[in-house]
Structure 1
Amino acid sequence: MDKVIGLREAVQEYVRDGMVVALEGFSHLIPFAAGHEIIRQGRKDLTLCRMTPDISSDQLIAAGCVSKLVASFFASGSAGGLHEIRRRVENHDPAPLEIEEYSHYGMLLRYQAGASGLPFLPLLSYAGSDLPELNPRIRMVDDPYGGPPVYVVPALKPDLAIVHAQRADRMGNVQIWGITGAQQEAVYAAEHAIVVVEEIVEPDVIRSDPNRTLIPKHAVDAIVHLPYGAHPSYAQGYYDRDNAFYREWTAISKDKDQLQAWIKEWVLDVPDHQAYLDKLGPQHRERVRVGERPSGEVNYGRRLP
């Protein structure tokens, strides 16, 4: 039942060229280290699924790993632009990138439909939007109960979901707190799932606060213990977002040569995530250190003898 393996081994085993891969984490818990390992291993022709494609998406696309992007709300954490994505979409430079765009809610419902075994799910939020004209997979169907027609989005069932989380036990029970995003839905929708965590804890810790277990062990194939694996995004309660890096990324990604040099220096030329952290140095980690703010205790009660 022990599902803990290394990141290199997890990517070797579960990521194949041509796969549909979801990398989820919303604002925080973005699986940057997993994306870097995909780049190191030279995976190609991936369909990348991501709510809010951000710097991690820009990096994977610039490294030549991604041929199609299924996503919503293109942004670099409100801190700048994603110029590799822009070059691909606007100028096909150095190659075109196929885009399938949805709203946030549309992406969430796609995962939810996939997780539920449904062919599609309805939503109202495309009324008045031009997205249905740009994306033929957003369709309108009649309401079988006599109401007005509604838009629907198709189920999304990735070959693999990779998410980051705060902690898990060795069996694969995963706990997340803070902004949860679509991690749970993506994992249930996917054929396989890798979860990268900040901390491995004993099962008693998981059982002491069961409501935080958003992803149970039966949905997980591999657990990777990798502290700071979400850097430069943040992990609530463990470290803050590296805002300086987010601000620097616009200038890096604007220059194609500088972007490729960054990928070479910070991803390809370092053997693993620990070497990446060593290269950042302890002063960098100090910059994103956070203080403690424990939540209140909850009494779940127990059966009396």
Structure 2
Amino acid sequence: MARSGTLGEAVEAAVHDGDSIAMEGFTHLIPHAAAHEVIRQGRRDLTLIRMTPDVIYDQLIGAGCAAKLVFSWGGNPGVGSLHRFRDAVEHDWPRPLEIEEHSHAGLVNRYVAGASGLPFAVLRGYLGTDLAKVTDSIAPIECPFTGERLTAVSALNPDVAVIHAQRADRAGNVQLWGIVGAQKEAVLAAKRAIVTVEEVVDELEPRPGAILLPHWTVDWVCEVPSGAAPSYAAGYTERDNDFYRDWDAVSRDRDRFCAWIDANVFGGSRA
């Protein structure tokens, strides 16, 4: 049965320095509140994994939490670059950042292999690219039945998966719906899982198309209303488009970024 508690308790128990951590959510249900708690607790040397690192990982990278990024696209959706990400890659600020790039299909297949208990997955992607030459987790493979040249990608088993969802019941069963990405696969592949939710209810109501994660796949469930903001949670909150536009200017300047983190993540209380 999943444990309930505060987000601070969950992060303290589940996320350690040097861990690999997947914070998934595609367009919506992005676990921003959990990322801020990781920053507040000063976690370091993390390997961040995400299909579409956007503002959530720009903040973690700029705060000095990340040593490596495993990803399949990076940008501020609809706006432009991630300037804290670029500063780390181009100028080693606030620290050097190793990067490992994949296609969406390749990264999802890595999660699926990890969730399935397999050492690797096979797909037709990457042919004609140079990624296999510079990425240890990508390798050409020949089909033993047809001789077709394919690509293998190694399984991903993050130390921690963190997602946001709409609801959980008191036993820890989690329900999410709307636009989803690789949340289910990340949770099933990970060694530990934290789920923040809009609300904890006595009973989950059936909902067409919803994904249900049973309580035994989740370690922590934390009630965190608006825990996906500035992204959104379908049926609960709306996307803050102004935030994403404003972030471009905030993230371009190191001092302005640090001031934003101090005010909005640490609440002005950081020494």
Q: TM-score range by the shorter chain?
A: over 0.9
Residue of structure 2 equivalent to 1:84: 84
Report the counterpart of residue 248 of structure 1 in structure 2.
Answer: 246
Match of 2:227 in 1: 229
Quote the offset at 1:30 in angstroms: 0.3
- Aligned partners of 1:39, 1:134: CA distance in 2, in Å? 30
Q: How does 1:130-145 map to 2 (within 5 A)?
A: 130-145=130-145
Corresponding residue for residue 265 of structure 1 = 263
Are residues 1:114 and 2:124 paired? no
Structure 1 residue 190 displacement after superposition: 0.3
Question: Mapping of 1:146-165 within 5 angstroms?
Answer: 146-165=146-165
| Alpha-carbon contact 1:3-1:170 (below 8 Å) kept | no
- How far apart are residue 270 of structure 1 and its match? 5.9
- Counterpart in the other structure of 1:303: none
Unmatched tracts of structure 1, length 5 or more: 272-305
Match of 2:101 in 1: 101
1:25/1:183 contact within 8 Å kept? yes
Q: What amino acid does structure 2 have at the position aligned with 1:178?
A: G
Equivalence for 1:66: 66
Tell me, yes or no, if the aligned pair for 1:170 and 1:223 is still in contact at 8 Å. Answer: no
Distance in 2 between residues matched to 1:34 and 1:77, nearest whole Å: 20
Shift of 1:199: 1.3
1:45 and 2:45 aligned: yes
Query: Whose helix fraction is larger, Structure 1's or Structure 2's?
Result: 1
Quick one: which amino acid aligns to residue 120 of structure 1? F
Query: What code does the residue aligned with 2:25 have?
Result: G
Amino acid at match of 2:11: V
Provide the C-alpha distance between the structure 2 equivalents of 1:231 and 1:45, rounded to a whole number of angstroms: 25
Task: Report the 3-state secondary structure (helix = DSSP H, G, I; strand = E; otherwise coil) of the residue aligned with 2:13.
Answer: helix
Contact 1:21 / 1:161 at 8 angstroms: preserved in 2? yes
- Pair 250,60 (structure 1): closer, same or farther in 2 beyond 3 Å: same
Q: Aligned equivalents of 1:57 and 1:9: distance in 2?
A: 21
The structural deviation recorded for 1:3 is 2.5
Relative contact order (C-alpha < 8 Å, sep 6+): which is higher? Answer: 2
Contact 1:176–1:213 (8 Å) recurs in 2: yes
Could you say which residue in structure 2 is the equivalent of 1:6? 6
Q: Does the 8 A contact of 1:173 with 1:213 survive in 2?
A: no
* TM, length-normalised to structure 2: 0.95
> More strand by proportion, 1 or 2?
2
Aligned-pair identity in percent equals 53
SS at match of 1:268: coil
CA distance in 2, matches of 1:47, 1:88: 14
Report SS of the residue matched to 1:81.
Answer: coil
C-alpha deviation, 1:37, in angstroms: 0.4
**Is contact 1:108–1:182 with CA below 8 Å preserved after alignment?**
yes
CA shift digits 1:11-37 (9 cap, x unpaired): 111111111111010100000000000
CA drift at 1:176? 1.1
Q: Which residue of 1 aligns with 2:196?
A: 196
Q: Which runs of 5+ in 2 are unaligned?
A: none
How well do the aligned residues superpose, as a CA RMSD in angstroms? Answer: 1.5
Q: Distance in 2 between matches of 1:209 and 1:228?
A: 21
CA–CA distance in structure 1, aligned partners of residues 112 and 28 of structure 2: 21
Which protein is bigger by CA-based radius of gyration?
A: 1
SS of 1:241's equivalent? coil
User: What letter corresponds to residue 189 of structure 2 in structure 1?
Assistant: A
Kindly indicate whether the alpha-carbon contact (under 8 Å) linking 1:24 and 1:182 is maintained by their aligned counterparts in 2.
yes
